[in-house]
Structure 1
Amino acid sequence: MRKTYSMLLVSLLALTLLLSACSEKLALEPLDAEQNVKLKVLFWEENYFYQEYGNYFTMKYPNVEFEVISTTKVQQEMEKSYEDYQEAMYKFIEENQPDILMLQPDQYEKLASEGKLYELDTIMNQEKFDTESFLPSVMQMLKDKGGGKTYGLAATFGAQVIYYNVDLFQKHGVEVPKNQMTWDQVLQLAQRFPTSGSDKDRIYGLNLQGMGGVADLIMSLGRTENLRWVDKTGKKVQFDSESWRKAYQLATNSFKSGAIYDEKRNMPQMGDTMESYLARNPFTVGRSAMTIGGSWYMNEISRAKDQIKDFKPFQWGVVTAPINPAEPNSTNNMYLSEIMAVNAKSANTRAAWEFVKFVNGPEMARMQSRQMSGNLPTRKEFIKDKENHDLSAFYLLTPKFESYNSKEYQVPNNFYMTQNTVLEEQTKQYLDNKQSVEQAITNIQKQLQEGLDKGWQEDEAKKKKDKEKEAAKK
């Protein structure tokens, strides 16, 4: 009896394992190499898609054809309807139903929560798809925003760091930067370098690539400290506050010291050659101790060796971009712009998954690391350059990937232009000693509030006028 019982248990166990194995195989049927498949892909631009991904994939799967749905159409639709960009994007996706979606974190989170994306954990486990070599922070974010499950993968990421000129620091006896410095520490470090000499020959403590002038520095300080220009209703400007005052004075005092290079004094001109374009950046030509830039900037340093006549090479390194002292282990300077996901309604799920798997596989990561086209691979072992610099600063901190409710902190369409103009004009008067810091802050608060109120009125008037036009057509 006992023997019969034991044999029965063994048989049941074998049957359970067999059924389990069968059920795993049924998750997605293998892709038929002979079958012609057409995949609709949501992407920024068609030529760029083929250059980065499509051409490589079709070499492996020649029977797969792509139809690229450009998201530039969303911008056109939004301008007609005055819809929120994100809402216009979701509407666009619903209407076009692409098989593969390239998403940003907020979009990924929303679509995953609504059950509109295909869950990838099951198929990745079945196929033993390697996820261990991905940056843990990226994989965790994808799970967190997927409600505990993975609905997409990101092959690349971008981040800003502080680049520093080792030779200049050694020459002037200043200790090199370190990871997790605050803006205050970075700006104080920049002021330890001499400010004498002509514009053509002098060195700078810091230059801010792509930021332009003092207004951009003020906004960057505020962003790092999680400061908002308006309250959650979007109706009240809150610049005249202790936190914004501190950021404003720190930025303006640094500019007054002469340690910061103001890019707006030397903007690119029509007819610039590659050499003159590269030489405009004082860090590239060894005349700035530090600069803040993305991963793409490594390419410019490398290119300068061949493009700039009499270029003098120098040692450089990178540390993390300035952090918020209240959150020293996290950063908002790391971003994902291409999370690849499969539409839950796709009729070509297997082919779509094969594409996502291919683009996020180690072969593509190796290829991307060699190209160094801008972003970095999310597979850690391929984050390197030809000179073997320590690039850990790009991924050392935990990315925030913050989500903001689209109904909160909204401002009129033209407010950001007003914000930049007011900030530049009033701050210039302060830097030129034409008004005090208190006057500058008061005027900025007043003029921004006036601009915000006017912007809302103009937006409402436009919406009303458009509704009247639509009603007249009917």
Structure 2
Amino acid sequence: MKKKSSFGSILRKGAMLCLSLTLMGSVLAACSKGDGGSGTEKRVLRIGFIYSSPDNEQYLRQLYTDGYELLHPELDIQIVGAVNYDDMRFQEQPEDGKPVKQPDPYEKLTEMLNGNNPVDVVVLDSNSSYLKRLVQDNMLKQLDPLIQEHEFDIEDLVPSVIDGIKEAGDNSIYALSPTFNASALYYNKKIFADAGIEPPTDGMMWDDVLAKAKLVSKGEGNKRIFGFSFGRWGGDPFWDMQNSYLPALQLKVYDDKGEKMTVNSPQWAKVFTTMASIYKDKIVPTNQDINSGMDEGTNGKRMYNPYQGDLFINGRVAMTVGGYDYVTELTRAKQQNAKNNKVPSVDWDVVTMPQHADNPGIGGNVYLSGLMGINAKAANSEDAWDFIAFNNGKEWAKLKSRSLYEMVSRKSLLQPKDGQDYNMEAFYKLKPIPPSSTDQEKLYREKPGIEEARYVGQQIFQEVIDGKKSTEDALKEWETKGNAILKKIKENPNGGLNPAEGGVATEVYAG
């Protein structure tokens, strides 16, 4: 949250300075049309967010509305939240200790769009599944006609961003996103050069990347070089598989009705076998590897390492998956290393996320920040479009391109930071993973605790890695235990809560 606040402050100050110098003529023209103390009633533009509260309204204004409001004093911009954080924070807990049912965000979102005083603009932060459902429920205005009418430039927008938006909108545009983040594959140049092996390139398949990872893995103990990691800090093998390897395959754990497990299949068997092998062969570090010996210096003395646990920066991982924000950390490490060579650093570059042969051309997750759409029932759709066009235009993108943590959606403004030379296109060259199906999203709301059927696979997969179970037996066991959980939830949907929420679904497979 601190990063967001810092960025919002930088953005606001930059907006004030740049706009006052370069857009003064527009400001004066706008003022001549506005209130200006003449008593003319201001037009109202209502902008809705899924979550808000009085505490974070100022942050939302800094991020989305301050620059526009400076140019349009004739507008009264109102911020509306579908779900008020304070309502959740100060909700009284029942004496019986049972969990309080939390509001359904989508239900609250539709109330905000369809109520007596509907919002004009809706902002969906990094949630394209909600965008897809709003489109299917005819709650948003199609933007293609407005784009054409106003000759709004979308040719300069990053293809993966437009592809992600169109995927959610049945090949039409119902929202625009000014910024985004995406995953790519970072690699250590020195490790590959020392091993005499060609480094990874754009467009590689997972099997080829993991084969390279095996070739460069070497050493023992806290000196071992690992060929690959699923993230900076490593993690649990099961969730590494779920979050980084599986999404592009779009394999399901259970069917769309949430009544039958689908894991006992040849596709899942291949995934289990592949993933288990890279942990068995110590190609990928475990949490134990990450925490082992990382703070030891010479003669066994403990030493301070600001990048404790980040094996890539410490030169012990050849390739790792990371978002664009990792560029900032790698750059900072290099700068600090120039001042103090005890601070670790790495000579790196980046290529596209590995692809699956069964689904080529699809990369990692693309996170669309601040997706902005017009309510189909907007009272002020004209200003709503102008607001969206401004926030997604090139002039405003120039200011946002200074961000250290996300990228602007305009290709012409995407350049490596601080004069560096790395493969910027790697973050947006591939198509994004399509948004999750609305049927699955609906299941999470209607069947609380259904994800328990997924969680049960965690221990089972670990037993495959440990050599205690074969892949075949593991998938059969996961299918059996998962089906028992799904059956119980079907019989009592409101009783199958996640244990963290007070549920008892774990008793089905405990033991």
The TM-score normalised by the length of structure 1 is: 0.78
Cα distance change of structure 1 residues 197 and 325 upon mapping to structure 2, 3 Å threshold = same
Q: Paired residue for 2:123?
A: 102
Q: Paired residue for 1:401?
A: 434
Q: Paired residue for 1:208?
A: 230
Q: Paired residue for 2:277?
A: 253
| Shift in Å, 1:36 | 2.8
Give distance in 2, aligned partners of 1:64 and 1:276: 51
Q: Does 1:189 align with 2:212?
A: yes
Cα distance change of structure 1 residues 126 and 246 upon mapping to structure 2, 3 Å threshold = closer
Asked whether the 8 Å contact 1:98–1:343 carries over to 2, the reply is: yes
Q: Paired residue for 2:414?
A: 383
Cα distance change of structure 1 residues 307 and 57 upon mapping to structure 2, 3 Å threshold = farther
| Shift in Å, 1:230 | 0.6
Q: Deviations over 1:423-470 (max 9, x none)?
A: 33223333333344444333322222223333444424589xxxxxxx
Amino acid in the other structure paired with 1:451: I
Q: Deviations over 1:81-113 (max 9, x none)?
A: 678654453244323621111134343344445
Amino acid in the other structure paired with 1:164: Y
Unaligned runs of 5+ in 2: 1-29, 36-40, 90-98, 292-303, 498-511
Cα distance change of structure 1 residues 359 and 231 upon mapping to structure 2, 3 Å threshold = same
SS of 1:208's equivalent? coil
| Shift in Å, 1:266 | 4.7
Give distance in 2, aligned partners of 1:418 and 1:73: 31
Match of 1:228 among 252, 273, 294: 252
Cα distance change of structure 1 residues 457 and 115 upon mapping to structure 2, 3 Å threshold = closer
Cα distance change of structure 1 residues 92 and 266 upon mapping to structure 2, 3 Å threshold = farther
Amino acid in the other structure paired with 2:463: Q
Cα distance change of structure 1 residues 322 and 72 upon mapping to structure 2, 3 Å threshold = farther
Match of 1:174 among 197, 213, 222: 197
SS of 1:278's equivalent? coil
Give distance in 2, aligned partners of 1:405 and 1:112: 11
Cα distance change of structure 1 residues 230 and 192 upon mapping to structure 2, 3 Å threshold = same
Q: Larger deviation: 445-454 or 401-410?
A: 401-410
**Correspondences of 1:122-137 after superposition (within 5 Å):** 122-137=145-160
Asked whether the 8 Å contact 1:39–1:348 carries over to 2, the reply is: yes
Q: Larger deviation: 360-369 or 202-211?
A: 202-211
| Shift in Å, 1:368 | 1.9
Q: Paired residue for 2:347?
A: 315
Residues matched between the structures, number: 424
Give distance in 2, aligned partners of 1:342 and 1:332: 28
Q: Deviations over 1:345-389 (max 9, x none)?
A: 32333332222111101122222221122x321111122222132
Q: Deviations over 1:181-219 (max 9, x none)?
A: 2322222221112332332x3321112226622102332
Give distance in 2, aligned partners of 1:445 and 1:147: 33
Q: Does 1:363 align with 2:363?
A: no
Q: Does 1:70 align with 2:81?
A: yes
Q: Paired residue for 2:183?
A: 160
Q: Does 1:238 align with 2:262?
A: yes
Match of 1:431 among 437, 456, 465: 465
Q: Paired residue for 1:416?
A: 451
Amino acid in the other structure paired with 1:156: T
**Correspondences of 1:114-125 after superposition (within 5 Å):** 115-125=138-148
Give distance in 2, aligned partners of 1:426 and 1:150: 42
Cα distance change of structure 1 residues 42 and 448 upon mapping to structure 2, 3 Å threshold = same
SS of 2:123's equivalent? strand
Q: Deviations over 1:381-430 (max 9, x none)?
A: 1222221322112121223434513268836422325523x333223333
Q: Does 1:36 align with 2:42?
A: yes
| Shift in Å, 1:312 | 4.2
| Shift in Å, 1:340 | 0.7
Give distance in 2, aligned partners of 1:415 and 1:218: 19
Larger radius of gyration: 1
Unaligned runs of 5+ in 1: 1-29, 268-274, 464-474
The TM-score normalised by the length of structure 2 is: 0.73
Amino acid in the other structure paired with 1:414: G
| Shift in Å, 1:63 | 4.5
Cα distance change of structure 1 residues 144 and 286 upon mapping to structure 2, 3 Å threshold = closer
Asked whether the 8 Å contact 1:195–1:258 carries over to 2, the reply is: no
Cα distance change of structure 1 residues 39 and 444 upon mapping to structure 2, 3 Å threshold = same
Give distance in 2, aligned partners of 1:438 and 1:329: 30
| Shift in Å, 1:307 | 6.0
Cα distance change of structure 1 residues 240 and 179 upon mapping to structure 2, 3 Å threshold = same
Q: Deviations over 1:271-324 (max 9, x none)?
A: xxxx85633211122221111111121122123345676234432222221212
Q: Deviations over 1:232-253 (max 9, x none)?
A: 2211112121111110010011
SS of 2:226's equivalent? coil
SS of 1:224's equivalent? coil
Give distance in 1, aligned partners of 2:167 and 2:271: 32
Q: Give me the identity figure in percent.
A: 27
Give distance in 2, aligned partners of 1:370 and 1:298: 13
Q: Paired residue for 1:448?
A: 482
